[in-house]
Amino acid sequence: MAKITFLPQNAEVSVREGISVLQAAAAAGISIDGNCAGKKTCGKCKVKIKQGDLSYCVDPNEKLSAVDRAAGYRLACCHRVSDGMVIEIPEAETTADRKKKLIRLPEGFQKNTAVQKICIQVRRTTLEEQESMDHSILKLLSLGKLAFRKNVLQKLPHILKEQEKITLTVLGREIIDVECGDRVDENYGVAVDIGTTTVLVMLWNLSTGQMAAIRGITNPQGSYGADVISRISYIDGDEEKLTVLKNAISEGINNCIQEFEKERKISHRNIYNFTVVGNTTMSHIFMGVDPSQLAKIPFAPVFTGSGDVAAAELGLMCHENASVYRAANIAGHVGSDITAGILTTDIVESKRKQLFIDIGTNGELVISGNGRTLTCSTAAGPAFEGSSIRQGMRAAKGAIERVDINEKDVEISVIGGCKPIGICGSGIIDAVGELVRKKIVNENGRIRTAGELKECGMSDRIADRVRQDESGKKYFVLYFDEDGKEDVSITQKDIREVQLAKGAIYAGITIMMNEIGISADELERISIAGAFGSYIRKQSAIHVGLLPEIDESRIISLGNSAGIGAAMLLLSTDYRAEADRAAEMIEHIELANRPEFQKQYMASMKFK
């Protein structure tokens, strides 16, 4: 056995000597980013071996730069553990940190929670007016007929013997708990947005309607694949593996709840209600439902409808009678995160022509107009998350997030204000947008040569950033280090990736607009979801051709709409009903099934 330690968690685990770092991390319940689920193809699961054998490697050809290797970095999928090894996992929390900031309930939001805690004073019954305790309580509550859960009936005689003032917890049409005295304020709910990459867990006080705490954690399923397809292929219909991924999420949520307990001095027994949103695969796995068919034609989900589940059945830390509301999915690739997200807009009920767009590995689109609301999902690929980009990275410290090309040179902004080490999604769009705007990249996506650029009057400082590698492939240098060495660049292949991604999304937009018969300039509003929407520059998104060319003022950023929607669903049963109506009303279009898709896709790849 080998005893190894993971940093920064400082988690010790004893595992079999010689298994991979990735396997050891999974055994320790720690997730390491990676897109290929240990298939050794993505080269993203970089860790730093702080102590231990640096040569104990499965695959000497691992996809790592010599610089990284020299600095002690190794790929977790390729490196073997040995006794005493100390492994540092690079920080990847910034995405989560950013997401946190983006939770704001809409103005004028009215809560109407499924849970109510009500304090009443129960008078002792007499022989003259013999009355059962349940009747006395129902009369005082005057909420009509409510069911009493078994535990409440069992506690009642003891509690009412002690005190006449009691607090009842009402969930839906059931009384799920009774406590001595006034405990109205100890009333919590948890809203969860299970993203493929990040899980956002929010604690809300259901009596006050205020957020009490929030945590964003890296989705612990990440150890089994970075995207839904690789997780589905990891599960491969195996019930045990499904359970592993299912438990990874519930344990992740429980860890957050334990931290809330410490941080806010609350008890998980006062958590009575959950809402959970996520893409359809996350939602299936969370429920322990095999997601296999979501990866196969015709991509039909097992379930889309919303529903309540006993939280105990899902192993969540909370009151014994707490329930979990899972929002409705819309289709195989349009999940309840979208249902929740559009709650922050008026896209379903208003008559305005508008577009909702949520970009990740898939781009989910919702468009409304002429009395219809359509949705589709486009396989944008991971370019906008930085994954298929050579120097792509998450929106973490050291990522270039903004690029300006002025008359003379290139200016960049880096998250954390430090030396850049890569480029994140919004940075890529910004960079490509600027390259297109400045015609450094032509309509077809080809990087012009330095010579061509200078002919057109481009400054040398800019034009000379176009270089070629030994095989003649061009790239554009965004940042040179102190020694003038090229440090962060956008390659021709990166631009192709962006073209594929934005082409897929724009093709989806075009097909949906055609379907309901509106044109781009008729769009009264474009709402962009997520952290991505909050950080991209609208102009760049238009220049890249990700969004139709409309006035910037009509483009708004929603913040973390899925998270906000999850909170709204937690705090208001009215919104649950609205979400159900929306999910029911929205028509789903399967792009793969559209004969025009391929043509439209090719056309949309161009830069205009």
Q: Smallest Cα–Cα separation from 177: which of 166, 164, 163, 165? A: 166
Q: Residue 185, Cβ neighbours under 10 Å: how many?
A: 14
Selected range binding its own copies among 91-99, 198-206, 293-301, 531-539, rule: CB under 8 A: 293-301
Binding mask 229-268 for its own copies (x = CB under 8 A): ----------------------------------------
Task: Name the DSSP class of 349.
Answer: T
CA 494 to chain centre: 23
Query: Does position 305 bind its own copies by CB under 8 A?
Result: yes
Cβ-based nearer residue to its own copies, 162 or 313: 313
Q: CB of residue 492 vs its own copies: minimum separation in angstroms? A: 35
Q: Are strands 323-326 and 307-310 parallel, antiparallel or unpaired?
A: antiparallel
Please pick, from the candidates 301, 392, 503, 565, the single residue that binds its own copies as defined by CB under 8 A: 301
3-state secondary structure of 46: strand
Q: CB of residue 51 vs its own copies: minimum separation in angstroms? A: 44
Please pick, from the candidates 12, 313, 411, 481, the single residue that binds its own copies as defined by CB under 8 A: 313
- Residue 138 has φ and ψ, to the nearest 5°, of -65, -35
Please pick, from the candidates 154, 163, 370, 406, the single residue that binds its own copies as defined by CB under 8 A: 154
- Within 8 A by CB and 6+ apart from 516, the residues are 367, 368, 369, 370, 372, 374
Kind plus residue range of the DSSP H or E element containing 558: strand 555-559
Measured CA to CA in angstroms, residue 50 lies from 19, 27, 74, 283 at distances of 18, 19, 11, 37
**Cα–Cα dist 547/357, whole Å:** 9
Selected range binding its own copies among 89-97, 151-159, 352-360, 416-424, rule: CB under 8 A: 151-159
Selected range binding its own copies among 47-55, 107-115, 254-262, 326-334, rule: CB under 8 A: 326-334
Kind plus residue range of the DSSP H or E element containing 485: none
Query: Does position 332 bind its own copies by CB under 8 A?
Result: yes
Query: Does position 67 bind its own copies by CB under 8 A?
Result: no
Q: Smallest Cα–Cα separation from 386: which of 445, 426, 435, 430? A: 426
Q: Is 416:394 a contact under the CB 8 Å cutoff?
A: no
Q: Smallest Cα–Cα separation from 506: which of 390, 367, 299? A: 367
Q: CB of residue 125 vs its own copies: minimum separation in angstroms? A: 4
Q: Smallest Cα–Cα separation from 251: which of 315, 205, 305, 200? A: 315
Cβ-based nearer residue to its own copies, 290 or 486: 290
Q: CB of residue 327 vs its own copies: minimum separation in angstroms? A: 14
Q: Is 412:429 a contact under the CB 8 Å cutoff?
A: no
> Contacts with its own copies in 568-607 (CB under 8 A)?
588, 590, 592-593
Selected range binding its own copies among 146-154, 180-188, 376-384, 550-558, rule: CB under 8 A: 146-154
Cβ-based nearer residue to its own copies, 317 or 324: 324
Cβ-based nearer residue to its own copies, 307 or 416: 307
Q: Is 542:554 a contact under the CB 8 Å cutoff?
A: no
> Contacts with its own copies in 69-128 (CB under 8 A)?
125-128
Binding mask 388-427 for its own copies (x = CB under 8 A): ----------------------------------------
Query: Does position 289 bind its own copies by CB under 8 A?
Result: yes
Please pick, from the candidates 209, 288, 372, 486, the single residue that binds its own copies as defined by CB under 8 A: 288
Please pick, from the candidates 150, 262, 265, 608, the single residue that binds its own copies as defined by CB under 8 A: 150
Selected range binding its own copies among 17-25, 154-162, 227-235, 381-389, rule: CB under 8 A: 154-162
Kind plus residue range of the DSSP H or E element containing 144: none
Please pick, from the candidates 308, 522, 524, 587, the single residue that binds its own copies as defined by CB under 8 A: 308
Please pick, from the candidates 25, 79, 99, 148, the single residue that binds its own copies as defined by CB under 8 A: 148
Query: Does position 299 bind its own copies by CB under 8 A?
Result: yes
Please pick, from the candidates 77, 331, 359, 566, the single residue that binds its own copies as defined by CB under 8 A: 331
Q: CB of residue 562 vs its own copies: minimum separation in angstroms? A: 20
The 486-491 sheet, strands edge to edge: 466-468, 474-480, 486-491
Query: Does position 156 bind its own copies by CB under 8 A?
Result: yes
Query: Does position 335 bind its own copies by CB under 8 A?
Result: no
3-state secondary structure string across 401-457: EEEEECCCCEEEEEHHHCCCCEECHHHHHHHHHHHHHCCCECCCCCECCHHHHHHCC
Q: Residue 128, Cβ neighbours under 10 Å: how many?
A: 5
Q: Is 14:1 a contact under the CB 8 Å cutoff?
A: yes
First-residue to last-residue Cα distance in the chain: 60
Cβ-based nearer residue to its own copies, 278 or 332: 332
Count of residues of this chain found to bind its own copies when the rule CB under 8 A is applied? 47
Please pick, from the candidates 329, 344, 377, 527, the single residue that binds its own copies as defined by CB under 8 A: 329
Please pick, from the candidates 21, 87, 133, 531, the single residue that binds its own copies as defined by CB under 8 A: 133
Query: Does position 287 bind its own copies by CB under 8 A?
Result: yes
**Cα–Cα dist 206/568, whole Å:** 11
Cβ-based nearer residue to its own copies, 66 or 127: 127
Q: Which amino acid is at 594?
A: R
Cβ-based nearer residue to its own copies, 125 or 255: 125
Please pick, from the candidates 17, 53, 93, 134, the single residue that binds its own copies as defined by CB under 8 A: 134
Q: Is 156:108 a contact under the CB 8 Å cutoff?
A: no
Considering just the CA atoms, what is the radius of gyration of the chain in Å?
Answer: 27
Please pick, from the candidates 54, 147, 456, 585, the single residue that binds its own copies as defined by CB under 8 A: 147
Q: Are strands 210-218 and 198-205 parallel, antiparallel or unpaired?
A: antiparallel
Query: Does position 515 bind its own copies by CB under 8 A?
Result: no
- Within 8 A by CB and 6+ apart from 413, the residues are 400, 401, 402, 403
Cβ-based nearer residue to its own copies, 289 or 477: 289
Selected range binding its own copies among 95-103, 147-155, 359-367, 571-579, rule: CB under 8 A: 147-155
Q: Is 536:360 a contact under the CB 8 Å cutoff?
A: no
Cβ-based nearer residue to its own copies, 137 or 271: 137
Residues in contact with its own copies by CB under 8 A are 125-128, 130-135, 138, 145, 147-148, 150, 153-154, 156-158, 287-290, 292-293, 297-305, 307-309, 313-314, 329, 331-332, 588, 590, 592-593
